[in-house]
Amino acid sequence: MNFPRFWKAAQTGKVTTWGWSNTSVEEAMAKARERQARVLEWLKGAKRFDELGRYGYPDRPMREEVLREFPDARGARAGVLTRNSYGCTVLNTTNLVFVDVDTPRGSVGSFLGRLLGRKSPDPQTALEQALAAKARSWISARPDWRWRLYRTAAGARLIAVHRPLPPGDPQVQQAFEHFGADRLYRALCKTQQCFRARLTPKPWRCETDRPPYNWPWPNAEAERHFREWEREYTTKTTPYATCRFLEEFGTAPIAREFEDMLQTHDRTTRAHEVLSLA
């Protein structure tokens, strides 16, 4: 899990590159200039894109403000709350497993069923029923596990709460395959070496815009405008939850080190309230 403390931008014309560091602003600026030189060289055609590597999400540290840290028993980071580029609070964890699954778009089979007048469950319900069945089969083969299942606005979320597991653990990869985790999410977990779960609603689902500026603020005026947006966002998202708790599978005890993060997840997402999801 890598959320650098310091970020600086280098700019040449319309080309802006960011550098990062956990040590100093100066080191962040040096990295920004180094990365910009490579980008400018690539733009001139001096190097192929694949020699430079990808510069976009999710292959570099995420430029997100850290709002809160959750230490483990040794004082190391077990989780952090951050604010993403569109203003949502996100829980990032080193070993509390989140599995995000998207609701599949209509299949040919479901289309033919409707054409022939057959009734079938809506895609969201069908997904939840399928995931519940998969969770039961998983627990049947691994009784020392415990899963929590939630509904989201566009799919479902599962959380493995029985014991710490890092993203590279083979069992995590098996779980991703078993439940059909989103491909981009899998890539992000591997690259960033953490799991992520959005805790607050997406602004465009609540009739509000994205924030006018992203962290780090270029100046005090930019931060003021962001705080104004933040107050409006908080008001507009009040009628919404981010996910809804559905069911739990397995009887293994919840790992003690997860209790604070799970409480924060359920409280912030408003998972136990009957609200529209966003």
The model's pLDDT over 247-274, given as tens digits with 9 standing for 90+, comes to 999 999 999 999 999 999 999 999 999 9
- Long-range contacts from 74-83, C-beta under 8 angstroms, 24+ separation: 77/1, 78/257, 78/261, 79/261, 80/1, 80/3, 81/199, 81/264, 82/3, 83/215
Element (H, E) at 113: helix 108-115
Query: Any idea what DSSP says for residue 269?
Result: H
Q: Tens digit of pLDDT for each residue in 162-199? A: 999 999 999 999 999 999 998 889 988 998 899 999 99
Alpha-carbon distance of 100 to 94, in angstroms, equals 16
- The answer to whether 271 and 245 are in contact (CB under 8 A) is yes
Alpha-carbon distance of 32 to 4, in angstroms, equals 13
Bridge partners, 82 (sequence order) = 66, 90
Taking phi first (over 0 means left), then psi (-120 to 50 degrees means alpha), and beta for anything else, what does residue 3 get? beta
Alpha-carbon distance of 206 to 229, in angstroms, equals 13
pLDDT value of residue 93: 98
Full-model pTM: 0.84
154: which residues sit within 8 A by CB, 6+ positions away?
A: 102, 103
Task: Kindly report the backbone phi and psi dihedral angles of residue 32, in degrees, each rounded to the nearest multiple of 5, phi listed first.
Answer: -60, -45
Q: Tens digit of pLDDT for each residue in 200-230? A: 999 999 999 999 999 999 899 999 999 999 9
Q: Tens digit of pLDDT for each residue in 76-117? A: 889 999 999 999 999 999 999 999 999 987 543 444 444 555
Q: Tens digit of pLDDT for each residue in 8-20? A: 888 888 788 888 8
Q: Tens digit of pLDDT for each residue in 25-39? A: 888 888 888 888 887
Cβ neighbours of 106 (radius 10 Å)? 10
Tokens of 32: 């920004």
